[in-house]
Structure 1
Amino acid sequence: MSSLLLLAVFEVASFAAAAPGVIFRPGAWYQQLDKPRWRPPDWLFAPVWTVLYASIGLSGWLVLIEAGIAGAVLPLGVYAVQLLLNAAWTPIFFGLHRPGLAVVAIVLLWAAILATIIVFYPVNAVAALLLAPYLAWVSFAAALNMSIWRRNRSKPMLQGAR
């Protein structure tokens, strides 16, 4: 039973990274931005992130179960950093309206996800592979973030975001 409780803790921690999205909504500011035609529809983001957050939580739990607390300190430390960077992107982009700064944040997030995969793999290959779709989605999100920033950086509302 304690293993299931630990899984629940990892899932809660993972989904907690999405909490800023409740406060910092896209809203009118985002709607009026010039966005590329290849941007997915808004309704797609919530289901994709739901699956990804569930996988992120499961991944962390698998590493803890496999390595134990002492053996998982470094991998779970890197894991925690990527969760914090994940949580930081939304307030930067949607809260501060700073797509340029959000590009920096998402590049750091991408690197942290890759580092998590690298440190997870020797401990539990399945845990590492569970993060591959997350890395792929964040790669796409980074391209989208960069495109939005480039398309809108000359607009007065984004002058401070260069």
Structure 2
Amino acid sequence: MDIWLFFLFFLATFGAGATGALFPTGEWYKSLNKPTWVPPDWVFPIAWTSIYLLIAFAGARVAGQDGSGYAMAFWGLQIAFNTLWTPVFFGLRGLRESLPVMAMLWLSVLGALVTHWQVDLYAGLAFVPYMIWVTIASALNLSMIRLNPDQEKLELHKI
């Protein structure tokens, strides 16, 4: 694996992760009704740092290998939807609006897992924790909608 390729993929994941700093949870999120099984706040930075390191590793292992075109396309797709979800959910407070983004994220992570696995076993395995985490996040997103049915999204003209 090329360390410079890993660094480039890590920069991409860092860019996606930066949306968490730009759109923090804040008092709005704390005031929402949440399911009893929501992970504690301290779990999120540990989980995301681990996931970002693993998917940077996966991308670097597969990039440039024969037959990696679909894997790279799905890698790009998942990081794009990953980057988009936080501003929609936390920035716009769009619980409902974030669900289609989450669905596309889930599908693109599944696609990345399968296509990376086809090119390199370890790259595919690196996507397994991400797939588990996004599945939990999808259920959490849906639960938040159900538990907060009257939650209005933040209108752009009010920002």
TM-score by length of 1: 0.89
Partner of 2:16: 17
Deviations 1:91-132 (A, max 9, x none): 000000001111111111000000111111121011011100
**What code does the residue aligned with 2:90 have?**
F
Q: Which runs of structure 2 are paired with 1:41-120 in the superposition (5 Å)? A: 41-64=40-63, 67=65, 71-120=67-116
Summarize deviations over 1:70-108 as a string: whole Å, max 9, x none: x42321111101000000000000000001111111111
Higher helix share: 1
Q: How many residues align?
A: 155
Equivalent-residue separation in structure 2 for 1:47 and 1:10 (angstroms): 19
Secondary structure of the structure 1 residue equivalent to 2:32? coil
Residue 128 of structure 1 aligns with an amino acid whose one-letter code is G
* TM superposition score normalised by structure 2: 0.91
Counterpart residue type for residue 138 of structure 1: V
Contact 2:93 2:154 in 1 (8 A): no
Give the distance between the partners of 1:137 and 1:107, measured in 2 at CA.
13
State the distance in 2 between where 1:49 and 1:123 align.
24
Moved over 6 A (4+): none
CA distance in structure 1 between the aligned counterparts of 2:154 and 2:12, rounded to whole angstroms: 35
Structure 1: distance between partners of 2:22 and 2:13:
17
Contact kept in structure 2, 1:26 and 1:94, CA below 8 Å: yes
Identity %: 34
Shift of 1:159: 9.9
One-letter code aligned to 2:77: V
Paired amino acid for 1:30: Y
Deviation at 1:28, TM superposition (A): 1.1
Give the CA deviation at 1:144. Answer: 0.6
